[in-house]
Amino acid sequence: LLSDVNGHYSADNIAKRDEWMSWVNGRAETYDNFVKEITKKFSDVTNALDANTKMTEEMFVQSSRDRIIDFAAKVSDESSAVSREEFNRIFKVYERYEEFCKEHDIKNGEINIAYKIITESYENHIKHHSFVEDSRGYN
């Protein structure tokens, strides 16, 4: 038994163990560096995606506002021909815009008058049956 214990703790076995532990520590350092590098790259990608998302959101907000304002300008001219479908589309744009503003805590003060012009025009077209499809007999 003493011989087995001495053989187990011989200088040769201790050297092999030390060599193995050195190799394991080297792998651990390599993996640790790899994880740090991947984490940094992931952070860079995440930052780029966040910036892209912010820009896309800003484009959505601006595009929605522009569409609503442009349509309000169109319908403010009472001689301009408009269809129910155009109103339905702009109402959907407005609804998505409003939901987005609520979700992202964005103040909506830029299109209130434009939307009021649109709703008044819609009510006027309903009242007078003056949509394009009404004037052409498609309803």
pLDDT per position as a tens digit, 103-136: 998 887 779 999 999 999 999 999 998 899 887 7
Query: CA 38, CA 86: separation in Å to the nearest integer?
Result: 49
pLDDT band, residue 55 (cuts 50/70/90): very high
- Average pLDDT value for residue range 81-109: 92
Question: CB–CB of 83/129 below 8 Å?
Answer: no
Please tell me the pTM assigned to this model.
0.68
Question: CB–CB of 68/114 below 8 Å?
Answer: yes
Average pLDDT score, the chain: 89
**CB-neighbour burial class of residue 14 (10 A; exposed 0-12, middle 13-18, buried 19+):** exposed
- Could you give the percent of the chain with pLDDT greater than 90? 68
Residue 40: its H or E element: helix 11-76
Question: For residue 97, which of 114, 80, 73 has the smallest C-alpha distance?
Answer: 114
pLDDT band, residue 80 (cuts 50/70/90): confident
Q: What's the sign of the alpha-carbon dihedral 63, 69, 75, 77?
A: negative
